[in-house]
Chain A
Amino acid sequence: RKEVEQDPGPFNVPEGATVAFNCTYSNSASQSFFWYRQDCRKEPKLLMSVYSSGNEDGRFTAQLNRASQYISLLIRDSKLSDSATYLCVVNPGREYGNKLVFGAGTILRVKS
């Protein structure tokens, strides 16, 4: 089983749609969680950190479910500019040197 698993997609949605991505992680002791966005042939950029209580940043909402070991990202009112690959990233903690573990990414294509 991969340490961080994501549905690779692609998710093809129309502008204005709501889309949700899930990500599961295998290490129950994982300490911190992030969503990064990566555009084609560019570096990953931090979209948001994920907190236990869930957090929202504009059209983006992240949720963490420790019991089921999954993280979700919800994008409301999708824009064409949201088209990218979304990377789920997990920090398994000090025991593992605080080394981030990256999922392979979920591709989102927003169409007009």
Chain B
Amino acid sequence: DGGITQSPKYLFRKEGQNVTLSCEQNLNHDAMYWYRQDPGQGLRLIYYSQIVNDFQKGDIAEGYSVSREKKESFPLTVTSAQKNPTAFYLCASRAGTGLHEQYFGPGTRLTVT
């Protein structure tokens, strides 16, 4: 089955700890994206990568880091510098040219206390 997987589904962390969210796709898509969603708000772009070993900051990259060492994997680290890390994190990927739609993984709900 082709698709995007994210793990874990729910994650709980203490303030001050870094945490890494996993995103894997077997769709052979070149581009991958990380978004966060807060209640009542639209998705906001954290980081994106259009090709292996390259990534760019999105609109809210502060306090986050990523890597793209393999085409199928795009992990996101939420660092202790992120002031409001509790959110729903969504990973997406896109095939083809930039005008194509994106497909999403099931998301990880992170709670930091």
Contact = CB atoms under 8 A, between A and B. Distances in A.
B98 A98 contact: yes
A97 B58 CA distance: 10
Size band of the interface chain B makes with A: 20 to 34
A42 B107 contact: yes
Interface of B: 35, 40-45, 48, 56, 58, 88, 90, 97-107, 109
A31 B99 contact: yes
A91 B45 CA distance: 13
A91 B98 contact: yes
A94 to B, nearest CB: 6
Interface of A: 4, 8, 31-32, 34, 41-46, 49, 87, 91, 93-94, 97-105
Q: What are the 10 tightest A-B residue pairs by CB atom distance, in nearest-first order? A: A98-B98, A102-B42, A43-B104, A102-B43, A104-B42, A32-B99, A43-B107, A46-B101, A43-B106, A44-B104
